Structure 1
Amino acid sequence: MKLTRKAAPVALATTLALTLAACAQSDRNSNDNPSSGGGDVKDTITFGAAGAPELFDPFYATDGETFRVTRQMMEGLVGIKPGTADIEPELATKWEASADGKEWTFTLREGVKFWDGEAFNAEAVCYNFERMFDQNETAAGGPAAYWSDVMGAFKSDAANALYQGCTAKDDMTAVVKISRATSKFPTALSLDSFSMQSPKALKAGDANNVTKQGEGFGYPAYSKNPVGTGPYKLDKYDEANKTVTLVRNDSYWGEKAKTAKLVFKIIPDESTRRQELEAGSIDGYDLPNPADWKGLKDSGNNVLVRPAFNVLYMGLNPAKNPKLKDLKVRQALYYALNRDQLVKTQLPEGAQVATQFMPDTVAGYNKDLQPYAYDKAKAQSLLKEAGADGMTLTFAYPSEVSRPYMPDPQKIYEALRGDLEAVGIKVNVVTKPWNGGYLDTVDNGGYDAWLLGWTGDYNSADNFIGTFFGNLKSNDFHTSATSYGAKLSADLEAADSIVDEGQRATAYEKLNQEIMENDLPGLAISHSPPALVVSKKVQGLVASPLTAETFSSVTVSK
């Protein structure tokens, strides 16, 4: 789902897809002799993760720490070329679109098996799509978020869904039908949530039995013991010792993982991750503090800086706090934030103040938009005009996590909180662990305002503003409670359906202006270049602009 779209009419989509498939055939079959772990190479990679995985079924995951693990175990029809944002064949070797863009035919890779020995074929593909489509009310309203973002609706509301069915044309050919032409296909299928999983294991583990548990969700047995096709498979999750251990899948269809074991050691505190890297107890970690980059390099480590393909935002919930329905109040909050100071003091070199909910590398970015200036007096005046001076705002931030767009959530929060209080807003401070209630509470609309962000899955405006505001029935900003939500949702769908690249970009530019000047459903804060760091002993890790690194190519010298 990371292809930079360059095709014009849909009639060219077939040619593009076939050309891409022909030119980007995976070379993972080129070496079937994995490292034995002997000689000068370790048999284990240990990587410091910033947070615990929420579960191991990627379909219900919404956070990077979970995907970091499942990405090593699961594969989709479409993959991502390492080090790029471009798609390449994975479990499908090629794909072809009908003239109207509503029917996609996937030719599947032969000789692939799930870890449990089940064959990967067209029936398995269609079973996976139907499993994703047929969700209960609890899952549809919460953890099945990526399906909702991409496909719009589930089986209970089939008429409004983008997905319209899957057919096994023959054993190695699957045909997926959709309701309209869209920039999402086939790129969306590279998302981790759309990974192919064993139908046998899904059935045995009652995979779709998601329940409501307090402010969060209860997941079935399958979510702790998934079965995929990838180069690694799950060995164990030791919650007491905070480690996730994966082992090499020796039956993998392609090039075997070069290292026999991959361990993710959960270390929420960034300074502790650095200490463990320096001590040699981990081989690398994600999201080093920007202030530490120089010191890490001076110590001989490799700091790999990714482009800023993300956005940090303050989400607003008018359904929870009716005062937020007033545009003047939302504008006042924006004017109250000293984002220039925030970027200079809390974010790494290269970070930028956001003017909209997407980075400037995405087609549809509106270059004419200017950032809301820091203007304390204007903020106070707008609050007074709206009858909201002295208002109370329940404003939350996550703990036990660092994110690419938010290296230190607490420090960023404290800076923004101080700005809000300086214009007379009373802030109720709330924090919860990232995977210990925070994300679930956001999903359930429990905060007036909160800090969150997004790293793009692929280079498309729809993947940013379409994801945030496209689904009127289910989005964290609760735009269904506003006067503009329905129109915005419809306009986003119309823009996504435009086939011509130039016309589509123009439509998104206009939408970005409308969102930032007239709707303002949330406050886009900044774009920040994230990094990851590995010791000098690590070879073969390719940094991803999508933070979608894979570890099967990695070795660690002794």
Structure 2
Amino acid sequence: MNITKKSPAIIAILATAALAASACSSSKSGGSAAGAGSTATSAGGKAIPVATSNDINAKDVSSLKQGGTLTMAIDQYSSQWNNMTNNGNELDTARVMSTMMPQLFHFDASGAAIVNKDYLVSADETTTGGKQVVTYKINPKAKWSDGTPISYKDFVATYKGEIGATQGFDVASSTGYDQMESVERGADDQTVVVTYKTPFSDWKSMFTQFNGAGLFPASQVSTADGWNKAYLNAIPVTAGPFKLDKMDPTTKTVTVVKDPAWWGDKPVLDKIVFRAIDDTAAQADAYNNHELDVFEVGPSAANFSKVKDAANSTLHYAGGPDWRHITMNTQAPALKDKVVRQAIYQAVNRQQIADVDLKNLGTWKPTILNNRFFVNNQTGYQDNLGNLTYNVDAANKALDAAGWVKGSDGIRAKDGVKLDLKWVESQGIKVTSNEAQMVKADLQKIGINITETPVNGDDYFDKYINVGQYDITAFAYAGNPFPVSSGAPQIQSVDDPKNIHNNPRLDKAPEVDAALTKALQDTDPTQAIADANEADKLATQQASLIPLYQRPQIWATKSTLANFGSFGFQDYDWTKVGFTS
């Protein structure tokens, strides 16, 4: 299972903790951009794929067979389809919605943004009166499925929703939107003028989503009630190459079909079926039984072994902006003390976790990640671990000095608080359960106990992680081409109700917030990278979010499937996905 969350922020991937990688004969695409993406090599000499390459069996659309149905698994049958809400901020939700909703920019293999002419004629940044101003000119052919032209009204409604947490709008992250001063009509209804109070370097991440939907119709989301409920168990209005055909909660499938009203290049496929299967082993079996056309392998040697030799199948490898981590709830009584969190950081053998999670996955070499913004193969990556290296003795000494005393059961306690932590996980996810056992063994060495607590996969985020009903857990984040603005919400303070995307729920990190503010306002990319790394160093010391490793993208697909696989830093273009025969 690969449940994942997102917004302007990173998405959270719950279950399997790794994307896919490819090993066979699929084609590589994506040229190299100057300075974008280096090779990350680990101790064994094998390299993580460079950030400027991906593996999607790229083919010209003219060579593909017209029509057909693509069937793929999702990990859960979502209830909330507004990606910008807390409970809708999940990877599979975003994947489904990306077939039907506006994508203002496409992103190439290096993560560079390119205006999507289906929705925008242009998007230009200028400085007016000392302020950053972005002007969007909307393609006049662009319309919502109810026939309403996409206009400035939709941008205004999305903006007001994103900054409306205190007015009852359920918002996963307001990063970037909270730096806007105004969103207004320009020369006509298809011209939008956005003025920023302070510069925002990642302005191209606004009103669009990497692999999702970031612009919703004003007719549906202008009020808090509409924002929160219009897309609850429904997808009423869309604007993409596909439209909703049916949602079936009994079979847990969502089917989208080619939209005849679509004004852009016509999709190759007639239909895409998303089928919820919350166990990755069952997904692998379904793929081998030809019930699925694609399978996201994840960091599972068992699943990799199941599909690596499948007939008429190709494995695809890429290294994208996705990473696995351990999150601690800083509001839990046992984890309020930073000394405890730092001791856990030092006591967990992360290399062992990476080695176990990623063993026997083809050429991918397990490499520890020591950054919350940049993955190992990405421009800007640097090791920010500092003094929190793996050191069980140091962890024990720090806990002793802080007054955490071991009881007769070997578990430390202080002032009536016992270091007995509830590890919440989605049931049936072997990777997460294995991690729990490794972390439990590691923490026993420093007098901390872990109790594994499996929960229903559909409830994992909505009823546990998002509302702070856990002590410690592990899942993955699916990133996007905007590492600074997407990474910020995970480590920002949560005094402000807008910042509910911060799963560790850290409420007192003013120095981190100040560093993030500077990074988000840097218009010079080099300086933004430097400031983001400074923020990350401070976040390391807060020790609430422990990176494990860059999550390999490994997908198995039918060998005849083209323009789909392991995308790396590139987004989906659903109009180009199809079969060669």
Tell me the TM-score range normalised by the shorter chain: 0.7 to 0.9
Distance in 2, Cα, partners of 1:121 & 1:452: 37
1:306 is aligned, of 310, 318, 336, to: 318
Contact 2:81–2:231 under 8 Å retained in 1: no
Distance in 1, Cα, partners of 2:185 & 2:144: 20
Distance in 2, Cα, partners of 1:362 & 1:371: 23
TM-score (norm 2): 0.77
Q: Does 1:386 align with 2:402?
A: yes
Q: Does 1:528 align with 2:558?
A: no
1:10 aligned residue: none
Map 1:152-551 onto structure 2 (within 5 A): 152=178, 161-191=179-209, 195-202=214-221, 206-208=225-227, 210=228, 219-220=229-230, 224-291=234-301, 292-293=303-304, 296-299=307-310, 300-321=312-333, 323-347=334-358, 348=361, 349-358=364-373, 359-367=375-383, 369=385, 372-389=388-405, 390=412, 391-399=418-426, 408-465=431-488, 467-469=490-492, 472-473=495-496, 474=499, 475-480=502-507, 482=508, 485-516=509-540, 518-541=541-564, 543-546=566-569, 548-551=571-574
Distance in 2, Cα, partners of 1:395 & 1:354: 25
Distance change >3 Å, CA 488–CA 36, structure 1 → 2: closer
Q: For residue 422 of structure 1, report the CA deviation from its aligned partner.
A: 3.4
Residue 384 of structure 1: SS of its match in structure 2? helix
Contact 2:426–2:454 under 8 Å retained in 1: yes
Residue 175 of structure 2: SS of its match in structure 1? helix
1:92 aligned residue: 120
Distance in 2, Cα, partners of 1:401 & 1:72: 29
Question: Which range moves more in the overlay, 109-118 or 522-531?
Answer: 522-531
Distance change >3 Å, CA 167–CA 249, structure 1 → 2: same
The structure whose residues are more often helix, as a share, is: 1
Contact 1:364–1:507 under 8 Å retained in 2: no
Code of the aligned partner of 2:218: P
Code of the aligned partner of 2:149: A
Code of the aligned partner of 1:344: D
Q: For residue 388 of structure 1, report the CA deviation from its aligned partner.
A: 2.5
Structure 2: gaps (5+ residues): 1-7, 11-31, 36-59, 406-411, 413-417
Q: For residue 73 of structure 1, report the CA deviation from its aligned partner.
A: 0.8
State the Cα deviation string for residues 301-339 of structure 1 (Å, max 9, x = none): 111122042232222223222x43333212210121111
Structure 1: gaps (5+ residues): 8-29, 38-42, 153-160, 211-218
2:150 aligned residue: 120
Q: For residue 50 of structure 1, report the CA deviation from its aligned partner.
A: 2.6
Residue 315 of structure 1: SS of its match in structure 2? strand
Residue 192 of structure 2: SS of its match in structure 1? strand
Distance in 2, Cα, partners of 1:302 & 1:287: 12
Distance change >3 Å, CA 557–CA 277, structure 1 → 2: farther
State the Cα deviation string for residues 493-536 of structure 1 (Å, max 9, x = none): 022212223333332333332332x4323322222212111112
Distance change >3 Å, CA 424–CA 204, structure 1 → 2: closer
Contact 1:205–1:222 under 8 Å retained in 2: no
Question: Which range moves more in the overlay, 269-278 or 449-458?
Answer: 449-458
Distance change >3 Å, CA 266–CA 507, structure 1 → 2: same
Residue 186 of structure 1: SS of its match in structure 2? helix
Distance in 1, Cα, partners of 2:201 & 2:251: 43
Distance change >3 Å, CA 466–CA 515, structure 1 → 2: same
Question: Which range moves more in the overlay, 422-431 or 61-70?
Answer: 422-431
Q: For residue 221 of structure 1, report the CA deviation from its aligned partner.
A: 5.7
Q: For residue 439 of structure 1, report the CA deviation from its aligned partner.
A: 4.1
Q: For residue 105 of structure 1, report the CA deviation from its aligned partner.
A: 0.6
Distance change >3 Å, CA 451–CA 105, structure 1 → 2: same
Residue 189 of structure 1: SS of its match in structure 2? coil
1:51 is aligned, of 76, 81, 104, to: 76
Code of the aligned partner of 2:563: G
Distance in 2, Cα, partners of 1:207 & 1:437: 25
Q: For residue 433 of structure 1, report the CA deviation from its aligned partner.
A: 3.2
Distance change >3 Å, CA 137–CA 433, structure 1 → 2: farther
Contact 1:472–1:489 under 8 Å retained in 2: no
Contact 1:169–1:175 under 8 Å retained in 2: no
Distance in 1, Cα, partners of 2:428 & 2:135: 40
State the Cα deviation string for residues 209-254 of structure 1 (Å, max 9, x = none): x3xxxxxxxx446651231211111122212112111111111111
Question: Which range moves more in the overlay, 366-375 or 300-309?
Answer: 366-375
1:25 aligned residue: none
Q: For residue 200 of structure 1, report the CA deviation from its aligned partner.
A: 3.1
Question: Which range moves more in the overlay, 57-66 or 370-379?
Answer: 370-379
State the Cα deviation string for residues 379-403 of structure 1 (Å, max 9, x = none): 222222222242324333431687x
Distance in 1, Cα, partners of 2:233 & 2:165: 15
State the identity as a percent: 17
Question: Which range moves more in the overlay, 423-432 or 465-474?
Answer: 465-474
TM-score (norm 1): 0.80
Distance change >3 Å, CA 308–CA 236, structure 1 → 2: same
Code of the aligned partner of 1:399: S
Map 1:16-165 onto structure 2 (within 5 A): 37=67, 43-60=68-85, 61-76=88-103, 78-81=104-107, 83-90=109-116, 91-99=119-127, 100-135=130-165, 137-140=167-170, 144-146=171-173, 148-152=174-178, 161-165=179-183
- Aligned residue pair count: 499
State the Cα deviation string for residues 334-369 of structure 1 (Å, max 9, x = none): 121111111111124333212222313445433464
Distance in 2, Cα, partners of 1:459 & 1:414: 34
Contact 2:94–2:213 under 8 Å retained in 1: no
1:554 aligned residue: 577
